[in-house]
């Protein structure tokens, strides 16, 4: 509890907030009538509280929670629960301590999953209390714990829903009762004094204090319901139709409170709370498409009623009350459009009704409601999700309003977060700065990999997070799907996707979204919980959506308005400015930030607009393009000289998009495209776009030249991607080729190669220019592969040209390597992380095409690997970017090279590098980054296991020990709202890294399975592996360790287990599944080893009955039952009757199998998957003749007949029940069981003849209705 004291009473006194109504999360209060303009008038900021809570949560999570064993984590939940209840202290915890404790409890529940069920008895009463807490942040964290429980223990989902719905109904009824009492007292009060009815309405007492408790509880329970519904999307079978009907019904009741005269008159704030709670529940329901479809008509009526109330009625509502209701209904509409847009075409008239509601609300938001930027952002997002051409009346209003908001936010120094989403992730390595330049540079936000502190520089306290809670990042479908190797950077899973984040998810939800109308639909970005940033993000996106709907004159006017955002330092082309020279240091820092915000917002707006245009946009204009394109081209060439890497990348990609948007149908090249490429060539040579010498400072000159090279490579990359998409499209015309024609491609290649060749001359070049040159060449190399290049001259000529190109690149990079690794300034060069990373990536590209390169340079592989090893040896502990590139090169080498082609010196250096990355004392990286690095290094070890020759004596035991040591880090579990940065808004990339961690985690288990199976096949160590897994799952070893293969493995494993009592159950589940895969792969060979079968049975039976803290571990039991079924299927009746092998004797003498099967069947009554696999085990157990006692069969079949045998209903458990009973009946009738068992079973089943026959007939008739399940019915 020492950590929680960091935000204790002393910290609370330091904050000294003067405004009592300002909550710790900046959310709008619920119980009082407020003026939105007053929310920002607090004399002291609440940012300190948000950052302090974040720091404490990080210490609890990364410093304590993740390092504890499973048992200690359960104890920690109880300790935190007692602390929150004030059991061990004189005074109870304050709101900050409560939030931190609840945050850690949610993560502990997610980590323990089923094992946390034993803590519910003490935890649930605390959560019920916290849901009614006066602070909104405490209510939010309590609701998040409910979300974690719903994800971790889904079998309790129906109980949570029922309890919360009842609480919401009780609070709504209490508010209505209080309104009735207030109305009756008011009538008596006014009748005694003879006051008129009109006078009584205006002077009636408002007992708002009596409403507060119910409002807080109503709001908290509605939040919990919303989050639980979000989690239920992963378990659609658990969210029943009855539950959805109840949820929609209670939502309607709450929303209709806005028309209740008694409530709105006595306390309009309470009515707003009801509306807000109703739409919170409704928004969660519509985000689950399978739940919303049947009730969409009722939901649409709610939207229409609220819109009419806000526009025409609402006589008791002030502006503040209308703002709350307006945000609630807009949030619900956005949630529906984001997750259920395909229903727009399934429900007649739904699209027109939603459009009408939004247009009415758009007119309404022109008034005083615009004092809350969140409202404007929400309505922009709503229109962004509609098909572009369905709101012609509102399009011009949105277009002009968006431009005004972009200008206004830029003047207030609000920076957009969209720019990094619009840019290709392949170029992120150029953002990295060396540590010396990081300390002296003002661009600390571009060096997030240097230290933990630098990654926190952009954090902003949250505002109105309820408006974005229904669009969490974890619900982004595009970021969780699997991608092919071609979509990855140089084909490496370690390096991630090379495309931009927004392009990964832009799949039109309906055919209407894909209709032309001058604009290409893009999926709106995920909203952030800070209103200013959310507003400029949504403004830029709606600007791009409506951009193509207007003619060239309107577009040129918009470009002129955006040109006002151009920083003066770039507009003056680097000329000396007396005003800038006279600025003080403080003023320079302020101006630097202002210039960065202006340039980044300008580039983001231009890039979003140009990317939204179809490729044939300029087909009807002249060859020189429309006037706005020329203005944009001039602005972008000025931005090439920006001192900020992300702005340089944006300008380069924007120029490439502009060049490709000028292509006409049939491959004709417009003059503007030629002009863009020519001007970039001039800029790469250090000249102005018109070819005249550029007279600027050397630093600006190098910067411009470097960015021009990047822009040229971006043109080639974008054309490559367009061609790949077009050639895979069914509508591709054979004579249409969207690649840059060969002459322009040759011009780009010549320019890039010439710069690389000049780098080894005596001319001075900056490290930044060298890095950009290498990276640009790598992009061109990866974007001109012969499988997609236009076939000029035939395939053989293409291969010859490609080989010559690879040879030129190899010679150039070899010369550059010699220059860079000279003794002069070697230390300074090794500090340049981005330079070394770019060099490694180019090496990876060459290694991926080593077969072609070997035709001209036979010893090219040895040279490339030697270069790579030199960089491996220079990797420091903090070079996260460089480590990732090293691992990427290793993966590429293992994918494209055979084991015999990998030299031994390279394998040894890979081992040394991975051991360095997985050092135990390396605590520099934050949790997500550290997990990613450890997972990557562990996968490299597994790949090394498979690629290393058997004659090599690598330290296999040490490597395996490292794998076991860090496997718990890889086995983490997240739930939907598990973001550690809850009280603050961070930039988008750290959260995207967690998706990479999930992908790498799956990759790890696949690699571990392949490595183990490979070792079992090649080294014949199946008994050793089985004993090792027995040690890891059961924590015991009762046989002597094999000396031939096992010492090196077991020595390291025992060292790991000495530091902890046992593996967590999630790891046991993974290991049991891995044992199952090994047994399946070994097949009949496993029967030859008595110890293998005995160990497998012990592992399976122990897993089938696994518990933790007296709670059933269903997931582990399911894996154990699957393993038991695999082992039983290895044998048949003849094997056991002959008893020829020791393994058969072990199976017959085992007394654990029958209890394990019964436990699976009994516990499976609440889990259909476990029940089905338990039935399969029972059938296999009976088939091999191990049921010799009628009492044993009676005990095993009892769960199938309790409480009574149900005729098949189509559910999976009923199908498994029918198949099992029918097959046992068949075996008994055919005397396939022993005589006593057959007679006893047939006698007991006489009363069930009709039920079993009816269910069996139903399965046979409908066997094709269940797809794969129908095959199981053929045995009946």
Q: What is the pLDDT of residues 1173-1229, one digit of tens each?
A: 999 999 888 888 888 788 888 888 888 876 555 555 667 777 888 888 888 888 888
Mean pLDDT of 65-94: 83
Residue 1258 backbone phi and psi in degrees, to 5 = -65, -40
Global pTM value: 0.84
Q: Please, are residues 829 and 873 in contact by the beta-carbon 8 Å criterion?
A: no
pLDDT at 80: 92
Mean pLDDT of 883-892: 88
Mean pLDDT of 872-898: 81
pLDDT at residue 273 greater than cutoff 70: yes
Alpha-carbon dihedral sign for residues 947, 952, 955, 961: positive
**Interatomic CA distance for residues 35 and 53, integer angstroms:** 28
Listed in sequence order, the residues at least 6 apart from 1239 whose beta carbon sits closer than 8 Å to its beta carbon are none
Q: Please, are residues 955 and 944 in contact by the beta-carbon 8 Å criterion?
A: no
Structure tokens at 1054: 């025992």
Q: How far is CA 105 from CA 23, 65, 163, 813, in A?
A: 22, 9, 21, 53
pLDDT at 844: 92
Residue 1107 backbone phi and psi in degrees, to 5 = -140, 165
Residue 693 backbone phi and psi in degrees, to 5 = -60, 140
Mean pLDDT of 936-963: 60
pLDDT band at 1169 (very low <50, low <70, confident <90, very high): confident
pLDDT at residue 256 greater than cutoff 70: yes
Pairing of strands 1111-1112, 1107-1108: antiparallel
Among 203-207, 391-395, 925-929, 1150-1154, the range scoring the smallest mean pLDDT is 203-207
pLDDT at 962: 55
Span 211-239, pLDDT tens digits: 888 999 999 999 999 988 888 877 776 77
pLDDT at 1227: 85
Distance of alpha carbon 12 from its chain centroid, rounded?
A: 34
pLDDT at residue 669 greater than cutoff 50: no
Q: Which of 26-40, 253-267, 513-527 has the highest mean pLDDT?
A: 253-267
pLDDT at residue 178 greater than cutoff 70: yes
Helix segments in 528-670, DSSP class H: 531-547, 552-563, 568-571, 578-581, 585-611, 627-639, 645-661
**Interatomic CA distance for residues 51 and 1020, integer angstroms:** 55
Q: How far is CA 657 from CA 429, 448, 881, 1173, in A?
A: 21, 28, 28, 55
pLDDT at residue 600 greater than cutoff 70: yes
Span 386-444, pLDDT tens digits: 888 788 888 888 888 899 999 999 998 888 888 888 888 888 888 776 544 443 333 43
pLDDT at residue 937 greater than cutoff 70: yes
Helix (H, G, I), strand (E, B) or coil at 389: coil
**Mean model confidence pLDDT for the chain:** 75
Higher pLDDT, 151 or 237: 151
Among 116-130, 172-186, 620-634, the range scoring the smallest mean pLDDT is 620-634
Among 55-69, 356-370, 1090-1104, the range scoring the smallest mean pLDDT is 356-370
pLDDT at residue 942 greater than cutoff 80: no
Among 273-282, 573-582, 1171-1180, 1267-1276, the range scoring the smallest mean pLDDT is 1267-1276
pLDDT at 438: 42
The 10 Å Cβ neighbour count of residue 449 is 24
Span 445-482, pLDDT tens digits: 333 344 444 445 556 667 667 777 777 655 554 444 55
pLDDT band at 906 (very low <50, low <70, confident <90, very high): confident
The reply to whether omega before 1203 is within 30° of 0 (cis) is yes
Structure tokens at 103: 């945050």
pLDDT at residue 150 greater than cutoff 80: yes
Higher pLDDT, 588 or 616: 588
pLDDT band at 170 (very low <50, low <70, confident <90, very high): very high
Q: Which of 781-785, 804-808, 1131-1135 has the highest mean pLDDT?
A: 804-808
Largest Cα span, the chain: 107
Among 77-81, 90-94, 373-377, 597-601, the range scoring the smallest mean pLDDT is 90-94
Helix (H, G, I), strand (E, B) or coil at 687: strand
**Interatomic CA distance for residues 639 and 677, integer angstroms:** 16
pLDDT at 490: 84
- DSSP single-letter state for residue 87: S
pLDDT at 395: 86
Span 980-1021, pLDDT tens digits: 556 666 556 555 555 566 667 777 777 778 877 877 777 677
Q: Which of 1-15, 71-85, 688-702, 743-757 has the highest mean pLDDT?
A: 71-85
* Percent of the chain topping pLDDT 90: 11
Mean pLDDT of 1047-1062: 52
pLDDT at 278: 93
Higher pLDDT, 1068 or 988: 1068
pLDDT at 181: 83
**Interatomic CA distance for residues 109 and 77, integer angstroms:** 8
pLDDT band at 651 (very low <50, low <70, confident <90, very high): very high
Mean pLDDT of 251-275: 87
Q: Please, are residues 913 and 875 in contact by the beta-carbon 8 Å criterion?
A: yes
- DSSP single-letter state for residue 61: I
pLDDT at residue 1263 greater than cutoff 70: no
Q: Please, are residues 184 and 102 in contact by the beta-carbon 8 Å criterion?
A: no
């Amino acid at each position: 509890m020492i950590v929680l004291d960091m935000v204790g009473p002393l910290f609370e006194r330091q904050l000294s907030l003067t405004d009592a109504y300002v909550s710790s999360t900046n959310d709008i209060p619920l119980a009082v009538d407020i003026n939105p303009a007053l929310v920002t008038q607090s004399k002291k900021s609440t940012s300190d509280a948000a950052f302090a809570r974040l720091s404490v949560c990080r210490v609890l999570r990364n410093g304590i929670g993740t390092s504890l064993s499973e048992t200690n984590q359960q104890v920690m939940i109880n300790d935190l629960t007692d602390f929150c209840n004030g059991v061990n202290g004189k005074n109870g915890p304050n709101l900050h301590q409560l939030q931190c404790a609840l945050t850690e409890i949610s993560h502990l529940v997610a980590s323990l999953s089923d094992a946390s069920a034993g803590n519910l008895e003490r935890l649930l009463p605390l959560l019920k209390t916290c849901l009614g807490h006066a602070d909104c942040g405490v209510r939010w964290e309590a609701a998040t714990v409910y979300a974690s429980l719903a994800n971790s223990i889904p079998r309790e989902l129906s109980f949570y829903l029922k309890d919360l719905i009842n609480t919401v109904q009780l609070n709504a009824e209490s508010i209505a009762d209080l309104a009735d009492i207030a109305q009756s007292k008011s009538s008596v009060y006014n009748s005694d004094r003879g006051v008129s009815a009109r006078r009584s309405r205006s002077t009636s007492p408002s007992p708002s204090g009596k409403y507060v408790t119910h409002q807080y509880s109503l709001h908290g329970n509605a939040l919990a319901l919303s989050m639980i519904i979000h989690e239920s999307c992963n378990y659609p079978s658990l969210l029943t139709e009855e539950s959805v009907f109840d949820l929609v019904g209670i939502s309607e009741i709450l929303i209709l409170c806005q028309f209740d005269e008694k409530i709105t008159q006595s306390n309009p704030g309470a009515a707003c709370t009801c509306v807000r709670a109703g739409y919170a529940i409704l928004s969660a329901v519509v985000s689950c498409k399978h739940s919303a479809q049947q009730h969409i008509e009722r939901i649409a009526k709610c939207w229409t009623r609220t819109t009419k109330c806000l526009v025409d009625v609402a006589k008791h509502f002030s502006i503040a009350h209308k703002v709350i209701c307006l945000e609630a209904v807009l949030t619900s509409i956005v949630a529906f459009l984001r997750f259920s847009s395909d229903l727009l075409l399934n429900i007649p008239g739904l699209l027109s009704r939603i459009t009408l509601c939004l247009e009415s609300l758009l007119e309404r938001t022109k008034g005083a409601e615009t004092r809350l930027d969140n409202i404007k952002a929400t309505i922009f997002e709503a229109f962004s999700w509609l098909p572009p051409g369905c709101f012609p009346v509102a399009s011009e209003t949105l277009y002009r309003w968006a431009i005004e908001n972009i200008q206004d936010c830029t003047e207030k120094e609000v920076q957009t977060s969209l720019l990094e989403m619009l840019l290709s992730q392949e170029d992120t390595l150029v953002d990295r700065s060396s540590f010396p330049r990081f300390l002296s540079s003002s661009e600390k936000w571009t060096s997030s990999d240097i230290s933990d502190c630098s990654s926190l520089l952009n954090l902003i306290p949250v505002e109105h997070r309820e408006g974005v809670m229904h669009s969490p990042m974890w619900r982004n479908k595009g970021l969780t799907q699997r991608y092919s190797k071609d979509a990855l950077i140089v084909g490496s899973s370690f390096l991630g996707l090379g495309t931009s984040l927004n392009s990964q998810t832009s799949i039109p939800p309906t055919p209407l979204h894909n209709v032309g109308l001058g604009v290409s639909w893009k999926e709106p970005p995920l909203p952030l919980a800070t209103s200013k940033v959310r507003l400029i993000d949504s403004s830029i996106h709606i600007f791009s959506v409506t951009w193509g709907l207007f003619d060239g004159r309107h577009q040129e006017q918009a470009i002129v308005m955006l040109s006002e955002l151009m920083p003066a330092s770039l507009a003056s082309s680097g000329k000396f400015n007396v005003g800038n020279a006279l600025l003080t240091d403080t003023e320079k820092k302020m101006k630097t930030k202002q210039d960065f915000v202006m340039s980044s917002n300008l580039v983001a707006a231009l890039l979003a607009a140009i990317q939204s245009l179809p490729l044939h946009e300029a087909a009807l204009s002249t060859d020189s393009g429309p006037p706005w394109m020329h203005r944009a081209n001039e602005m972008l060439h000025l931005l090439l000289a920006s001192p900020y890497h992300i702005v340089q990348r944006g300008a380069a990609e924007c120029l490439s998009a502009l060049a490709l948007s000028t292509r006409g149908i049939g491959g004709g090249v417009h003059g503007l495209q030629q002009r863009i490429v020519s001007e970039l060539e001039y800029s790469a040579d250090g000249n102005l776009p018109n070819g005249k010498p550029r007279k600027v400072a050397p630093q600006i000159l190098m910067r411009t030249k470097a960015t021009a090279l990047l822009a040229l490579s971006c043109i080639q990359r974008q054309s490559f991607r367009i061609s790949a998409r077009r050639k895979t499209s069914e509508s591709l015309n054979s004579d249409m080729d969207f690649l840059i024609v060969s002459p322009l491609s040759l011009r780009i290649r010549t320019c890039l190669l010439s710069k690389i060749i000049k780098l080894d001359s005596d001319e001075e070049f900056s490290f930044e220019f060298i890095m950009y040159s290498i990276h640009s060449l790598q992009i061109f190399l990866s974007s001109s592969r012969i499988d997609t290049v236009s076939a000029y001259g035939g395939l053989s000529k293409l291969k010859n040209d490609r080989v010559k190109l690879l040879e030129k690149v190899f010679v150039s990079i070899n010369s550059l390597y010699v220059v860079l690794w000279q003794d002069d300034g070697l230390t300074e060069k090794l500090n340049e992380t981005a330079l070394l990373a770019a060099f490694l990536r180019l090496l990876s590209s060459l290694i991926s095409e080593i077969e072609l390169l070997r035709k001209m340079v036979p010893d090219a592989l040895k040279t490339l690997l030697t270069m790579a090893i030199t960089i491996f040896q220079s990797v420091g502990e903090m070079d996260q970017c460089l480590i990732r590139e090293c691992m990427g090169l290793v993966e590429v080498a293992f994918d494209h090279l055979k084991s015999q082609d990998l030299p031994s010196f390279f394998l040894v250096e890979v081992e040394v590098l991975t051991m360095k990355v997985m050092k135990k004392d390396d605590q520099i990286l934050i949790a997500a980054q550290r997990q990613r690095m450890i997972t990557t290094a562990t996968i490299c070890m597994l790949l090394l296991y498979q690629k290393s020759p058997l004659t090599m004596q690598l330290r296999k035991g040490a490597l395996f020990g490292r794998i076991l040591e860090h496997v718990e880090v890889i086995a983490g579990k997240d739930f939907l709202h598990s973001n550690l940065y809850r009280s603050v808004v961070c930039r988008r990339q750290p959260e995207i890294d967690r998706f990479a961690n999930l992908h790498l985690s799956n990759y790890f288990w696949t690699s571990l399975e392949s490595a183990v199976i490979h070792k079992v096949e090649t080294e014949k160590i199946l008994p050793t592996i089985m004993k090792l897994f027995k040690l890891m799952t059961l924590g015991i070893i009762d046989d002597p360790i094999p000396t031939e293969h096992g010492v090196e493995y077991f020595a390291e494993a025992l060292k790991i287990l000495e530091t902890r009592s046992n593996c967590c159950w999630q790891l046991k589940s993974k290991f049991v599944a891995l044992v199952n895969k090994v047994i399946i792969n070994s097949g009949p060979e496993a029967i030859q080893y008595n110890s293998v079968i005995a160990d497998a049975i012990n592992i399976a039976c122990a897993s089938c009955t696994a518990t933790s803290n007296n709670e059933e571990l269903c997931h582990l039991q399911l894996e154990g039952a699957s393993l038991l079924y695999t082992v039983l299927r290895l044998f048949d009746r003849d094997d056991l009757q002959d008893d020829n092998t020791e393994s058969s004797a072990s199976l017959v003498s085992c007394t654990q199998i029958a209890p394990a099967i019964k436990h699976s069947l009994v516990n499976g009554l609440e889990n259909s998957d476990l029940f089905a696999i338990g039935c399969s085990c029972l059938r296999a157990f009976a088939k091999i003749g191990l049921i010799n006692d009628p009492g044993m069969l009676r005990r095993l079949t009892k769960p199938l007949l309790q409480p009574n045998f149900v005729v098949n209903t189509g559910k999976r458990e009923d199908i498994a029940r029918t198949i099992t009973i029918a097959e046992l009946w068949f075996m008994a009738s055919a005397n396939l069981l022993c005589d006593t068992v057959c007679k006893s079973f047939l006698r007991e089943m006489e009363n069930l003849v009709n039920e079993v026959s009816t269910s069996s007939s139903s399965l046979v008739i409908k066997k094709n209705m269940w797809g794969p399940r129908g095959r199981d019915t053929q045995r009946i």
